[in-house]
Amino acid sequence: MAVLDSYENVLSITPADTDLAQGSSIQAVYVGGAGNLAVQMKSGVDGTDLNVVFVGVPAGTVLKINPIQIRTTSTTATNILALW
């Protein structure tokens, strides 16, 4: 049996091209409504921010990512939650 991750906090996210208030404390992102999820990530290689679009994310998916932003442009997914 797989052990599921647990999170103590959850926050509804409205996509915006500004930094998330929780910053580096976010451990995962839940996508409740299927679609694309555009995020900005901090690159560990050279410190440059990296824009990524997760295409066709199914409803109910938990992405174990630590985004700086959930971007408005190119995000079509809905019911997005930050978990930490």
SS (H, E, C) 58-79: CCCEEECCCCCEECCCCCCCEE
CA 69 to chain centre: 8
CA distance 65 to 4: 16
Tokens of 79: 């019911």
Please report, in tens digits, the pLDDT of each residue of the chain (84 residues total).
444 688 999 999 999 988 776 566 889 999 999 999 999 987 767 777 889 999 999 999 999 999 989 999 999 999 999 999
CA distance 2 to 40: 30
CA distance 76 to 54: 10
pTM of the model: 0.86
The domain segmentation of the chain, as residue ranges, is 10-83
